Amino acid sequence: MSKSSQPIDDFARELSRETRDAVLSSVVTRTAGRKAKLEADYKDPDLLRRLAGKVKQHTVEHLDEYLEQAEAALTKNGAKVHFASTAESARETILEILRNKGATRMVKSKSMVTEEIHLNDFLEKQGVECVETDLGEFIIQIDGDTPSHIVQPIIHKNRRQVAESFEKHGLGAYNDDPQTITHRARKHLREKYLQSDAGMTGANFVSAESGRIVIVTNEGNARFGMAANGLHIALVGIEKVVPRDKDLGLFLNLLGRSATAQQLTVYTQFINGPRSKSQPSGPKEMHVVFLDNGRSKVLASKERDILRCIRCGACLNVCPVYRQTSGHGYRAVYGGPVGAVLSPLLAGDDFPKYADLPKASSLCGACHEVCPVNIPIPELLLRLRSRANKEGIKSAGAPPMAPFARMATSPKLWQTAMTASRAMNHLPITMMPIQPLQAWLKIRTLPKWRGGEFRKWMKERGGVNSGGRNE
C-alpha cells in the first residue's frame, strides 16, 4: 500500500464519505452565498477587504497603544481589565473571578479563544459547571467532541447523528427534525441560563476608542447568557482591538457577509461596562481578560499579518483541502488555511509538531481572495515552509530539492535528464523508480514523455540562442 505518511493526507483518506460530503456541501453553499451577498451589496468588495486589511494591520503594528486605550476606556466605565500571558494564567484568572463571587454555574457563548485555553475541562475540575449555549457548541459538548469549523462547529455532523446524541443524553426520544432538536435545546438551555450565576463570552472586536466590546451571535445566546445573572466575563485575544468605533462599522459589515452571507449578524452587542444605575437589568460586574498565549510571538514574526484575522471562516469554506478534511484534519483548535498558519505559530517551541500543516496546501490562493482582511495566506504558508526547512524539520514524502536545484542550474545535466526521461515510456509503471510517483500513478496517468522533442524542433527552425548567460 502506498500509505502516505503525511498525517493530514491519511486523515482525509480515512474520513468517512458521509462526513466529507456533509462538510463539502455545507461549505460550497456558504462560499456561493458569501460571494453573491458581497457582490450584490458592493460595487467593489475588494476595496473594503483591502481597507479592512490595512486598518487591522495598522492596529496590530500599534497594538501596545491600542490595548492601553481600550483598557483605559473600559476601566473608566467600571469594567475590570485583566491580562494573561499564558493559557494557564488565563484559566487561573477566570477561576479567581468566579471564586470571588462564589459562582459555580456558568453559561458560555461560542468562543474559539476559550477552546484555545481548554477552559471547560479546567473549570469543571474546579467544580464550576460550564454550559455551552450555542446550539452547535452544545452538541459538541454533550458529544465530548471538538469543533471542526470556527463558525459552524458541527459542520461534520448530520441531523441523524445529532438526534442520536440527544437521545443518548436524555434530551427526548429519537427525532431528527432540526426544528424539534432546536426546540429541545431551547428548553434545556433556558433552565441553565436562569440558574446561572455567570456568563462567559469571547469578543469579536474591541474598540480602543470607547472600550466597546462587540459580540455577535445569530442565536441570541450571548445576550441570554448576560440576562439572568450578575457576572459577565469576556476572554479576548489581544489582537481583537480595532482603533475606533467607526471601524466597527467596517468590520461588522464584512464579518456578517463573509461568515454567513448576512448584512449583520442577528444579535450585535456593544458593551463597554457593567450595569449602571440607569439600567434596569444586566450584570453588575464585568471583567475583561486580554489573552496573549503566543500572540506576541506571532507579532514578532514576519507572519504577523495572520493576527488581522477576524475568524469569519471564509477561508475554511473555500479551501479545497479543508473541504476534504474538515477542521479535525488540522489537529488543533483552528483549522483550515488560517489554522495552518496560526497553529504552528501559536505552538511556540512545539512548532515542529505542526510544521506539516503549512505544506498541506496547493497554494491555490482561494483563501487570500476571500479573506475580508486580505491576509496573504499563501505567502505566510511559504514563509513557514521556509522556516521548517531552515530548522531542518523533515517532511514525509516530500522529494528532496537539492538534486533538482543542481540539475536546474546546469543546462547540460538538465537536457540529458529531459531526453533520458523518454526511456520511461517503455517501463511498466510499477517499476518506476520513485515511490511517491507510484502513489501518483495509482489514480492518475501521466502523458507520454516527449523529452527533448520541442528543443529539437526549435533548433531546426533556428530560433535557439544561448540567452543572456555569460559564461
**Residue 16 binds to other proteins (criterion: CB under 8 A):** no
Query: How far apart, in whole angstroms, are the C-alpha atoms of residue 471 and residue 469?
Result: 6
* Residue 106 near residue 200 (C-beta atoms within 8 A): yes
> Which of 36, 72, 423, 464 lies at the binding interface for other proteins (CB under 8 A)?
464
Residue of 160, 118, 120, 169 whose CA lies nearest to 142: 169
d(CA 181, CA 402): 57
Distance CA 272, CA 464 (A): 71
Smallest separation (angstroms) from ligand SF4 to the CB of 67: 20
127 vs 332, beta carbon nearer other proteins: 332
Work out what residue 100 binds among ligand SF4, other proteins, none; the CB cut-off runs from 5 to 8 Å by kind.
Answer: none
Binders of other proteins in range 246-265 (CB under 8 A): 246, 248-250, 252-253, 260, 262-265
* Residue (2 or 127) nearer to other proteins, CB: 2
- Among ligand SF4, other proteins, none, partner that 16 touches (CB below 5 to 8 angstroms by kind): none
The correct pick among 172, 230, 352, 365 for binding other proteins (CB under 8 A) is: 365
Q: State which H helix or E strand residue 241 sits in.
A: strand 241-242
Show contacts with ligand SF4 in window 248-277 (CB under 6 A).
Answer: none
360 binds, among ligand SF4, other proteins, none (CB under 5 to 8 A by kind): other proteins
Residue 286, strand partner residues: 232
Smallest separation (angstroms) from other proteins to the CB of 170: 19
Considering only 199, 237, 273, 336, the residue that binds other proteins (CB under 8 A) is: 273
Nearest distance in Å: CB 313, ligand SF4 = 5
Q: Which does 175 bind (CB under 5 to 8 A by kind): other proteins, ligand SF4, none?
A: none
CA 346/CA 296 separation, integer angstroms: 9
Mask of contacts with ligand SF4, 300-319, x by CB under 6 A? ---------xxxxxxx----
Number of other CB atoms surrounding residue 373 within 10 Å: 25
Residue reference for cell 540539475: 407
Length of the chain in residues, anyone? Answer: 471
Residue 21 binds to other proteins (criterion: CB under 8 A): no
Minimum CB distance to other proteins, residue 16 (Å): 13
Q: Nearer Cβ to ligand SF4, position 199 or 337?
A: 337
Query: 425-461 in b/e burial notation, b at 16+ Cβ within 10 A?
Result: eeeeeeeeeeeeeebeeeeeeeeebebbeeeeeeeee
CA 113 vs CA 90, 137, 164, 167, 227: distances in Å: 11, 13, 29, 30, 22
Closest CA to 229 of 288, 273, 279, 282: 282
The item of other proteins, ligand SF4, none sharing an interface with residue 171, based on CB under 5 to 8 Å by kind, is none
Nearest to 112 by CA among 152, 162, 158: 152
Residue window 290-329: x/- pattern of binding to other proteins, with contact defined by CB under 8 A: x-x---xx-xx---x-------------x-xx-xxx----
Q: Which of residues 157-216 bind other proteins (CB under 8 A)?
A: 157-159, 162, 178-179, 181-183, 185-186, 189-190, 193-194, 210, 212
Residue 365-384 contact track with ligand SF4, rule CB under 6 A, x = bound: -----xxxx-x---------
Residues in binding contact with ligand SF4, number by CB under 6 A: 13
The one among 24, 95, 347, 432 contacting other proteins by CB under 8 A: 24
Q: How far apart are CA 302 and CA 263, in angstroms?
A: 33
Beta partners for residue 80, in sequence order: 287
Query: What is the four-CA torsion angle of 206, 208, 211, 215, rounded to 10 degrees?
Result: -10
For 247, counting Cβ atoms within 10 Å of its Cβ (0-12 exposed, 13-18 middle, 19+ buried), the class is buried
- Return the number of other C-beta atoms located less than 10 Å from residue 93's C-beta: 18
- In the complex, what is the shortest distance from the CB of residue 40 to ligand SF4, in angstroms, rounded to a whole number? 19
For helices 45-61 and 17-41, give the axis angle rounded to 10 degrees. 100
Which residues inside 50-79 make contact with other proteins, applying CB under 8 A? 51, 54-55, 57-58, 61-64, 67-68, 77-78
Grid cell, residue 236, equals 479576548
Pairing mode, strands 198-201 and 241-242? unpaired
Q: Compare residues 73 and 371 and give the one whose CB is closer to ligand SF4.
A: 371
Which of ligand SF4, other proteins, none does residue 372 bind to, with CB < 5 to 8 Å depending on kind? ligand SF4
Residue 379 contact partner, candidates other proteins, ligand SF4, none, CB within 5 to 8 A by sort of partner: other proteins
Contact 78, 72 (CB under 8 A): no
Cβ at position 390, least distance to ligand SF4 in Å: 24
List of residues contacting ligand SF4 (CB under 6 A): 309-315, 338, 370-373, 375
